[in-house]
């Protein structure tokens, strides 16, 4: 499991508006990569381009090349649903299906892919909820509504739902921005654990979080509103936070900008 | 009032306090003289609350309006029962099981059985035809059609709801009847061994025609309510399904339909309510017989509301009482339907509420 993601000269558009300009980066398997930068700099757009969720929005498209283990993600022959199964996504706000129980949420992805055997589903539910550090908290109430959990628990349920289909890559779009510090810590612990099995790319506004969890960090920025976002610097997290090459990165890290 | 200072005294005290403040601040920040007005937050002592205000008046008004509903309902119920009971007492047959309707005879004989059956049968047929089509249209409008097409199409469907039912009735009788008759003959020829398509004819003015016309009348309600419900599905739930590798149809099945289910049930029940109470369209399209039969294609069928429209003109006082009694039965049926719908909707309320 866990594959390599490579972007070369990726530009994403919303209609005629260019949201990111010519981003190139390679993400190695079983690492955590953090994308940081000011609001509106295109880091979420880039993240959504990786699993083709970008194109769900009307008139959204990309240019350039994105590959997973050298396979072109945007090949016209590629099944987009297969891409999204391979590259899972956790969203900013916890979004368990409101009509489903905890159990049903955890196995929703499997059911979508035609798994029907109860034994398989039961096993997958327990495995993914354990992996998401949620099992002990919910094992006695699996039939209760998933939306009845606390925010942090809901987000871990969403992570369980994402990893239950055994993807290669997990994308996280500001997964902790709606959570309290304790829940945030729980999710960060979880990310370290998941790193053994998945390639993780996380967008975050929290620089301490990026410094704590990631192996590599990419810094995105824009010159002014309306301009496309660019990848300013991409390097080992330690280097970015201790000795960045670019002046802009340094300004952002030290809080002088953005 | 006694030892409490009056409101105007308070206001003056407030003014003074603020004026002083204003001067003190003005010295430092060069504030304009307009700051002599007391701030909304108030200065000085706390003013007393007003005893009679818009607040009191509006509360009284809305309470009165609310109670009015109850008064009207009770008044209607009392009126209906007081008219129905004497007629029922004169009835020489069992009102619930008798099929014929001769309330104007010197020895009145009438019963609700055939009418209630026809009402339910025609409404159920209408729903069986209309609901799948309505849901398909609703999903198309909310999740498949481009916005430029969905908006005018939705508008056209809403227009369909504005067509008066007598127009539907006349149209069904004069235009739709012939094709339905031909289709019925065909069904009778090939599927006559099924009791619902059996019989010797004549065909055409049948439960099928009535049900079809009802279906067209119910369609807009069910469509536009379901569409609204489907559109309210949170975008983040749709994205969650797509991100798990769902196709558009799978996303609809996973996120949209379960989320909209209570709303769809409510929409269907509203449609059923309209179908049950529909009067003139059925009075014009049904064959008007007083028997209980599942045959869909032979001339025949009747309903409570159609019967009231057809026979009210020549009814004497017992006859009118009998019709009012039948109206009470119709009311009871709709009440049961509504309560069932609410029970279904509230059963999964826990899931819906915690979603908020």
What's the pLDDT tens digit per position in A186-226?
A: 889 989 989 999 999 999 988 889 999 999 999 999 888 88
Give the HSE-up count for residue A213: Cα atoms under 13 Å, Cβ half-sphere. 31
- Please write the tens of the pLDDT for every residue from A66-99: 999 989 999 999 999 999 999 999 999 999 999 8
Cα-flanking dihedrals φ and ψ of residue B173, to 5°?
-70, -40
- Please write the tens of the pLDDT for every residue from B142-167: 999 988 999 999 899 889 888 898 99
B211, two tokens: 């049900």
Judged against a pLDDT cut of 80, whether residue B49 lies above it is answered with no
The set of residues, in sequence order, having a beta carbon less than 8 Å from that of B259 and lying 6+ positions away, is: A98, A99, B229, B232, B233, B234, B237, B355
Contact B244/A at CB under 8 A? yes
Contact B245/A at CB under 8 A? yes
**HEC states along chain A?**
CCCCEEEEEEEEEECCEEEEEEEEEEECCCCEEEEECCCCCCHHHHHHHHCCCHHHCCCEEEEEEEEECCEECCCCCCCHHHHHHHEEEECCCCCCCCCCEHHHHHCHHHHHCCCCCHHHHHHHHHHHHHHCCCHHHHHHHCCCEHHHCCHHHHHHHHHHHHHHCCCCEEEEECCCCCCCHHHHHHHHHHHHHHCCCCEEEEECCCHHHHHHHCCEEEEEECCCCCCCEEEEEEEEHHHHHHCCCCHHHHHHHCCCCC
**HEC states along B138-193?**
HHHHHHHCCHHHHHHHHHHHHHHHHCCHHHHHHHHHHHHHHHHHHHHHHHHHHHCC
pLDDT of residue B194: 87
Token pair 């916890």 in the structure block, residue: A94
Residue A116: CB atoms within 10 A of its CB come to: 8
Burial pattern B127-147, b for ≥16 Cβ within 10 A else e, equals: bebbbeebbebbbebbbeeee
Judged against a pLDDT cut of 70, whether residue B348 lies above it is answered with no
pLDDT range class, residue B296, cuts 50, 70, 90: confident
On whether the CB atoms of residues A146 and A157 are closer than 8 A, the answer is yes
Judged against a pLDDT cut of 50, whether residue B2 lies above it is answered with no
CA-to-CA separations, B322 to B79, B98, B99, in angstroms, rounded: 13, 13, 13
In what helix (H) or strand (E) does residue B102 lie, and over which residues does it extend?
strand B101-102
* d(C-alpha A239, C-alpha A216), whole Å: 9
Facing B242 at nearest CB: one of A53, A113, A147:
A53
Specify the pTM.
0.79
More confident residue, A87 or B288: A87
- Please write the tens of the pLDDT for every residue from B304-344: 999 999 999 888 889 999 999 999 999 899 888 888 888 87
On whether the CB atoms of residues A186 and A175 are closer than 8 A, the answer is no
- Please write the tens of the pLDDT for every residue from B59-85: 999 999 999 999 998 998 898 899 999
Facing B240 at nearest CB: one of A83, A97, A147:
A97
* d(C-alpha B197, C-alpha B252), whole Å: 36
Peptide bond into B202 cis (omega under 30): yes
- Please write the tens of the pLDDT for every residue from A23-35: 999 999 999 999 9
Cα-flanking dihedrals φ and ψ of residue A243, to 5°?
-150, 65
Mean pLDDT of the residues in chain B: 84
Contacts of A154 in chain B (CB under 8 A): none
Judged against a pLDDT cut of 60, whether residue B351 lies above it is answered with no
Facing B245 at nearest CB: one of A56, A95, A109:
A109
Q: In what order do the strands lie in the sheet with A5-14?
A: A17-27, A5-14, A60-68, A71-72
B52, two tokens: 């009679």
More confident residue, B199 or B25: B199
- Furthest-apart CA pair in chain B: how many Å? 104
On whether the CB atoms of residues B304 and B115 are closer than 8 A, the answer is yes
ipTM field? 0.90
Residue B36: CB atoms within 10 A of its CB come to: 13
Q: What whole-number percentage of chain B has pLDDT above 90?
A: 43
Burial pattern A123-140, b for ≥16 Cβ within 10 A else e, equals: ebbbbbbebbbbbebbee
The set of residues, in sequence order, having a beta carbon less than 8 Å from that of A175 and lying 6+ positions away, is: A90, A91, A92, A155, A159, A187, A202
* d(C-alpha B95, C-alpha B29), whole Å: 88
- Please write the tens of the pLDDT for every residue from B125-142: 999 999 999 999 999 999
* d(C-alpha B90, C-alpha B83), whole Å: 12
CA-to-CA separations, B262 to B165, B253, B259, B278, in angstroms, rounded: 28, 15, 8, 24
pLDDT of residue A108: 93
Facing A95 at nearest CB: one of B237, B258, B350:
B237
Q: Which of A231, A250, A228, A230 is nearest to A241 (CA)?
A: A250
pLDDT of residue B31: 47
B12, two tokens: 């003056």
A208-212, B202-206, B236-240: segment of lowest average pLDDT = B202-206
How far does Cα B307 stand from its chain's mean position?
A: 22
How far does Cα B145 stand from its chain's mean position?
A: 27
Q: Delineate the domains of chain A, giving CATH numbers in brackets.
A: 5-95+168-253 (3.40.50.300)
B5-9, B258-262, B285-289: segment of lowest average pLDDT = B5-9
On whether the CB atoms of residues A43 and A36 are closer than 8 A, the answer is yes
Mean pLDDT of the residues in chain A: 91
- Judged by CB atoms closer than 8 Å, whether chains meet at A147 and B250 is answered as no
* d(C-alpha A79, C-alpha A73), whole Å: 9
pLDDT of residue B26: 41
Q: Is the dihedral of CA B68, B69, B74, B77 positive or negative?
A: positive
Number of CB pairs < 8 Å for A and B? 82
More confident residue, B4 or B262: B262
Q: What whole-number percentage of chain B has pLDDT above 70?
A: 86
Mutate to test the interface with A, among B245, B256, B257 (most CBs of A within 10 A): B245
Which is it for strands A87-90 and A169-173: parallel, antiparallel or unpaired? parallel
Three-state DSSP at B23 gives helix
Judged against a pLDDT cut of 80, whether residue A110 lies above it is answered with yes
Contact B145/A at CB under 8 A? no
Contacts of A155 in chain B (CB under 8 A): none
Three-state DSSP at B21 gives helix
pLDDT of residue A177: 87
Q: Delineate the domains of chain B, giving CATH numbers in brackets.
A: 101-353 (1.10.3720.10)
Contacts of A109 in chain B (CB under 8 A): 244-245
* d(C-alpha A10, C-alpha B280), whole Å: 65
* d(C-alpha A74, C-alpha B200), whole Å: 64
Nearest CA in chain A to B261: A99
Judged against a pLDDT cut of 70, whether residue A251 lies above it is answered with yes
């Amino acid at each position: 499991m866990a594959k390599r993601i490579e972007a070369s000269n990726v530009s994403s558009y919303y209609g005629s508006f260019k949201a990111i300009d010519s981003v190139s980066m390679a993400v190695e398997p079983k690492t955590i990569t953090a994308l940081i930068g000011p609001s509106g700099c295109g880091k979420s757009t880039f993240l959504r381009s990786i699993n083709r969720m970008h194109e769900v929005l009307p008139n959204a498209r990309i240019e350039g090349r994105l590959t997973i283990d050298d396979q072109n993600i945007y090949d016209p022959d590629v099944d987009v649903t297969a891409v999204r199964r391979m590259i899972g996504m956790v969203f900013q706000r916890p979004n368990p299906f409101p009509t489903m129980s905890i159990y049903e949420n955890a196995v929703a992805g499997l059911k979508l892919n035609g798994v029907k055997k109860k034994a398989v589903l039961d096993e997958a539910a327990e495995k993914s909820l354990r992996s998401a550090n949620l099992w002990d908290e919910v094992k006695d109430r699996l039939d209760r509504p998933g939306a009845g959990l606390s925010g942090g628990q809901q987000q871990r349920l969403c992570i369980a739902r994402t990893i239950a289909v055994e993807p290669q890559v997990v994308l996280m779009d500001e997964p902790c921005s709606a959570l309290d510090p304790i829940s945030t810590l729980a999710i960060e612990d979880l990310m370290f654990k998941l790193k053994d099995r998945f390639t993780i790319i996380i967008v975050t506004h929290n620089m301490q979080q990026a410094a704590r969890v990631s192996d590599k960090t990419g810094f995105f920025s824009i010159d002014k509103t309306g301009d496309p976002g660019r990848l300013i610097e991409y390097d080992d997290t330690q280097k970015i936070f201790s000795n960045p090459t670019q002046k802009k990165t340094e300004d952002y890290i030290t809080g002088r900008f953005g | 009032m006694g030892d409490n200072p009056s409101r105007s005294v308070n206001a003056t005290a407030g003014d003074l306090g603020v004026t002083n403040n204003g001067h003190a601040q003005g010295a430092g920040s060069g504030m304009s003289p307009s700051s002599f007005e007391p701030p909304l937050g108030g200065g000085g002592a706390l003013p007393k609350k007003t005893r009679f205000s818009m607040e009191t008046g509006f509360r009284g008004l809305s309470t009165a309006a609310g109670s009015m509903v109850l008064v009207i309902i009770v008044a209607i119920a009392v009126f209906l029962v007081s008219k129905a009971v004497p007629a029922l007492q004169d009835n020489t047959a069992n009102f619930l099981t008798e099929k014929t309707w001769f309330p104007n005879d010197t020895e009145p004989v009438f019963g609700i059985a055939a009418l209630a059956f026809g009402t339910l049968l025609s409404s159920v047929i209408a729903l069986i035809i209309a609901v799948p089509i309505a849901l398909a249209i609703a999903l198309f409008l909310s999740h498949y059609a481009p916005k430029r097409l969905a908006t005018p199409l939705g508008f056209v469907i809403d227009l369909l709801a504005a067509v008066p039912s007598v127009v539907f009735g006349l149209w069904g009788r004069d235009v739709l009847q012939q094709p339905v008759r031909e289709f019925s003959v065909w069904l009778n020829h090939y599927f006559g061994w099924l009791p619902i398509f059996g019989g010797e004819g004549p065909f055409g003015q049948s439960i099928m025609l009535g049900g079809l016309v009802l279906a067209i009348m119910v369609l807009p309600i069910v469509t536009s309510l379901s569409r609204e419900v489907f559109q309210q599905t949170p975008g983040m739930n749709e994205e969650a399904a797509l991100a798990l590798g769902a196709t558009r149809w799978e996303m609809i099945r996973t996120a949209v339909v379960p989320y909209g289910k209570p709303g769809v049930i409510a929409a269907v029940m509203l449609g059923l309510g309209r179908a049950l109470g529909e009067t003139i369209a059925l009075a014009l399209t049904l064959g008007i017989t007083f028997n209980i039969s599942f045959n869909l294609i032979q001339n025949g069928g009747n309903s409570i509301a159609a019967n009231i429209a057809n026979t009210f003109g020549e009814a004497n006082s017992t006859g009118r009482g009998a019709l009012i009694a039948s109206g009470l039965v119709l009311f009871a049926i709709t009440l049961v339907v509504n309560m069932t719908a609410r029970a279904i909707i509230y059963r999964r309320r826990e899931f819906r509420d915690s979603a908020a």
